[in-house]
């Protein structure tokens, strides 16, 4: 029986008492895939997988039609293709996702300043202060779902509860495109039938250990003496899980902490020792990072490159620029210099990455030209590319060196 099937019908939205339930967990449904389907309506209703198609690629997102075959995020692409060989695989468009994510978070912040993003596609909200202005938590949740659908054409699921932990479980149980309220006085009734693996902090190994002890559900765990849990799991883990099993989670929603860095990396389908192929991938990653910087309204001063050898030895090099940037060409030139300085131009690499740190708001950064220096025009050109990509898709415009595949038939 699935986790969703095991949830009792204690918290239907109609008539559910949301008194004492100020915490919302909003989770976008198959976010990357949903954004891609906005530009590919012919694929709606079909199994679609978002991710790199190479041998070492992983699934970033999948439509629910693909998930029905067992495909899920973080799964190796090779396994996903075996499970669902007829699925359409789409390479990710990170700049586009960042832009939609930014807009969705703006919807949340228009409701309450107490927004805690935990990923680009999900966030906690404390709407306790918005009740007089906007209505009950359930009404606010319904308003958020309608606004996201109207503005972006995608759906989200919302859990409404008295704590972050329960709200997150609720949003998971009502996916996709659902709204679930767990009344404060029925939390235990909601929790105890769930599999013990639903608890935060219970990974695969911990779940296996608990099952060996005869602990299969959250209710089973709740009935185990605290001393026994501490002895079997350790003092901290045992105490933590015992509290969650009874719905005790005192953590408050923490307002957004600005991003400290933005990066992207890629694992090659096969180890690469061709410097030109490496630089093409560094260019692709620089384009991706710069697009995310611009979409988020950031610029950054420190640029770093990550180089992982075939033996998994990883080397990073960084450089702080004179002025902050969100321009892919400036980032690319810097990471190429760092790559050359690392002395790995003829060494087989498994993975490369690009990251920009020391971020600040783009509006606060004014570029100062030195005497006789002229603007390169790259910033304006790349912003024009952003507009083309938003309108026509990720393949609408790209640097010439990335147009044709040049490494064993694989577009690197």
Q: How many CB atoms lie within 10 A of CB 304?
A: 19
| Integer Cα distance of 180 and 138 in angstroms | 8
Sorted by sequence, the CB contacts under 8 Å of residue 395 that are 6+ apart come out as none
Cis peptide before 372 (omega within 30 of 0): no
Beta strands in 19-84 (DSSP E): 23-28, 48-51, 59-62
Q: What angle do CA 282, 293, 114 make, to 5 degrees?
A: 140
The reply, when asked if residue 386 is annotated as ligand binding, is no
Catalytic-labelled residue, pool 116, 122, 281, 287: 122
Other CB atoms within 10 Å distance of the CB of residue 342? 14
Nearest one of 176, 157, 159 to 168, comparing CA atoms: 159
CA 100, 105, 110, 111 torsion: positive or negative? Answer: positive
**Is 122 part of the annotated catalytic residue set?**
yes
177 marked as binding residue: no
Instruction: Report H helices in 121-212.
Output: 131-134, 137-152, 164-173, 187-191, 204-212
Binding residues for Mg(2+): 27, 121
Which residues are the active-site residues?
Answer: 122
């Amino acid at each position: 029986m699935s986790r969703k099937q095991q949830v009792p019908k204690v918290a239907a939205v109609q008539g559910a008492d949301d008194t004492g339930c100020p915490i919302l967990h909003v989770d976008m449904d198959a976010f990357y895939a949903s954004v891609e389907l906005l530009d590919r309506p012919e694929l709606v209703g079909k199994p679609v997988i978002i991710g790199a198609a190479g041998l070492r690629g992983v699934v970033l997102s999948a439509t629910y039609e693909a998930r029905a075959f067992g495909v899920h995020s973080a799964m190796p692409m090779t396994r996903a293709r075996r499970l669902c060989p007829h699925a359409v695989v789409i390479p990710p468009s990170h700049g586009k996702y960042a832009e939609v994510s930014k807009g969705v978070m703006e919807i949340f912040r228009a409701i309450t300043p107490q927004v805690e993003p935990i990923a680009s596609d999900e966030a906690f909200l404390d709407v306790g202060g918005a009740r007089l202005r906007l209505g009950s938590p359930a009404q606010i949740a319904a308003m958020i779902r309608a606004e996201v659908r109207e503005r972006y054409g995608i759906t989200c699921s919302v859990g409404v509860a008295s704590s972050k932990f329960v709200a997150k479980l609720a949003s998971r149980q009502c996916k996709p495109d659902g709204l679930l309220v767990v009344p404060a006085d029925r939390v235990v009734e909601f929790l105890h039938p769930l599999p013990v693996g639903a608890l935060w902090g219970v990974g695969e190994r911990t779940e296996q250990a608990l099952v060996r002890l005869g602990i299969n559900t959250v209710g089973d765990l709740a009935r185990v003496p605290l001393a026994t849990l501490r002895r079997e799991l350790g003092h901290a883990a045992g105490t933590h899980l015992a509290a969650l099993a009874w719905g005790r989670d005192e953590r408050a929603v923490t307002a957004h902490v600005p991003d400290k860095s933005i990066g992207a990396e890629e694992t090659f389908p096969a180890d690469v020792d061709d410097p030109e192929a490496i630089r093409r991938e560094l260019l692709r990653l620089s384009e991706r990072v710069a697009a995310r910087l611009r979409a988020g309204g950031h610029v950054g001063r420190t640029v770093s490159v990550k180089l992982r050898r075939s033996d998994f030895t990883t080397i990073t090099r960084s450089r702080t620029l004179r002025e902050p940037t969100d321009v892919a060409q400036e980032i690319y030139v810097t990471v190429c210099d760092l790559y050359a300085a690392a002395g790995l131009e003829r060494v087989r690499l498994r993975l490369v990455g690009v990251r920009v740190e020391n971020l600040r708001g783009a509006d606060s950064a004014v570029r100062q030209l030195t005497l006789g220096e002229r603007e390169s025009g790259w910033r304006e050109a790349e912003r024009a590319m952003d507009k083309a990509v938003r309108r026509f898709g990720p393949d609408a415009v790209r640097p010439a060196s990335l147009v044709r595949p040049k490494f064993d038939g694989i577009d690197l």
